[in-house]
Structure 1
């Protein structure tokens, strides 16, 4: 039995993947070592900072056993600077994502492994403050919903996040114009996971609409040619008569 499921990841699935992002926490209680599927978690000893997957950090936060240290890019000052980049320096494209780096253990190899999104530790306390990571939208929403008291000026963060989302969504819609034969398109470098997931339905709808429009035009052309043949019209006939 086939399920009518849209192609690609849905927003809930993207949020689920985001929960594997590593975050920095400050434990409020001691916690013994945990053996998880993703690897062991070292014992938590207050007030030493530790790295945990987001889902576990949110669980400890709800239990009031830890505080989450927000990444630098989620600070109001950083979000304001990124918003200015989006509107002033990159009006027709998206601001670049975090810079990639090569692990020290691999620098001596001939073909080193380059870590890239979404496998960068871009949501920890050591993340870049000048760029939005791959899971920026869903990550920030989770922290605003469950750990707003750990953020600096959460109301200001919500406002800036809303502005960023609107500006970047407008760029995404502008890029779709190239599919209709209008505009020059827009580069999608730096687009986040949730933005892709949310825009896929809109873009797919535009493509399907253009495909149906093209099919209807082609069918109309065939019908017109068939009608002309039935009426005895031969293309180029007048020119042949004039030559005779």
Structure 2
């Protein structure tokens, strides 16, 4: 099965998730002038202080490490908004919409640019609380999976929640399929039916062979008795090759 082939590396560690999250977009205020430059993902810049510039997170972290910019706090990382998100997560069964890499982006920004943000410690504490509450809600929803409840709807999950339970869920589905052979049998029957229909259509659409005249057939082909016995020797799935008439080409006489 596919799950067996990928179960050893289906989950990513924190460093890998943060590396992927560095493609997220943030605003910075550069402290240097710099012309635009091109990357694989597109053109970045130009940089004209004190104007804001939108850049990938990895560029912002690079400039911040060189003390060449101030990173602007993303709107969703405002302490008041995070407090509302935490209240919603604690009081409702649904998940509040957040950026998919909210946890990784918050960790990277608070680690590299905490001096650019007011209430950095409060923001860090709120993000950690949101992670814990969402983790508990997700585990509670997954515990409802049973024979009576085969489906659950989980919207607005982040990468940290998905990656946390991805290996467990895929392995569980693999075990379920192994214990219940019915889906496998149905799939096999359907596949065989499709193959049969395709073969039948191929036989119908095959171009019939070109028949030769009796004189040409007698000169260029074996007798009818030998031809009939040769066709009988062929498997039923094969058909004899088409017979093409011979062509008499007269040489061109030069004057």
TM range (shorter): 0.5 to 0.7
Larger Rg: 2
Shift in CA distance, 202/13, structure 1 to aligned 2, threshold 3 Å: same
Partner SS, residue 200 of structure 1: helix
Residue by residue, what CA displacement relative to the aligned partner does 1:142-167 show, whole Å, maximum 9, x if unpaired?
Answer: 11111111222111111111110010
- CA-atom RMSD in angstroms: 2.6
Equivalents in 2 of 1:145, 1:203: separation in Å?
32
Q: How many residues align?
A: 176
Q: CA shift at 1:14, angstroms?
A: 2.9
1:190 is matched with which residue?
A: 156
Equivalents in 2 of 1:47, 1:41: separation in Å?
16
Establish whether residue 7 from structure 1 lines up as the match of residue 6 from structure 2: no
Q: CA shift at 1:140, angstroms?
A: 0.6
Equivalents in 2 of 1:186, 1:4: separation in Å?
23
Shift in CA distance, 45/161, structure 1 to aligned 2, threshold 3 Å: same
Partner SS, residue 38 of structure 2: strand
1:73 is matched with which residue?
A: 76
Equivalents in 2 of 1:152, 1:211: separation in Å?
51
Partner SS, residue 25 of structure 1: strand
1:170 is matched with which residue?
A: 136
1:201 is matched with which residue?
A: 167
Equivalents in 2 of 1:11, 1:186: separation in Å?
27
Equivalents in 1 of 2:14, 2:69: separation in Å?
27
The answer to which structure, 1 or 2, has the higher relative contact order (CA under 8 A, 6+ apart) is 1
Shift in CA distance, 85/184, structure 1 to aligned 2, threshold 3 Å: farther
Query: Where do 5+ consecutive residues of structure 1 fail to align?
Result: 98-131, 216-244
Which residues of 2 match residues 28-107 of structure 1 at below 5 A?
A: 28-88=31-91, 90=92, 92-95=93-96, 97=97
Q: Is the 8 A contact 1:34 1:41 kept in 2?
A: yes
Shift in CA distance, 27/161, structure 1 to aligned 2, threshold 3 Å: same
Q: CA shift at 1:80, angstroms?
A: 0.2
Equivalents in 2 of 1:193, 1:76: separation in Å?
21
Q: What's the TM-score once normalised by structure 2's chain length? A: 0.61
Shift in CA distance, 73/4, structure 1 to aligned 2, threshold 3 Å: closer
Partner SS, residue 60 of structure 2: helix
2:105 is matched with which residue?
A: 139
Q: CA shift at 1:13, angstroms?
A: 3.4
Q: What's the TM-score once normalised by structure 1's chain length? A: 0.64
Equivalents in 1 of 2:94, 2:152: separation in Å?
6
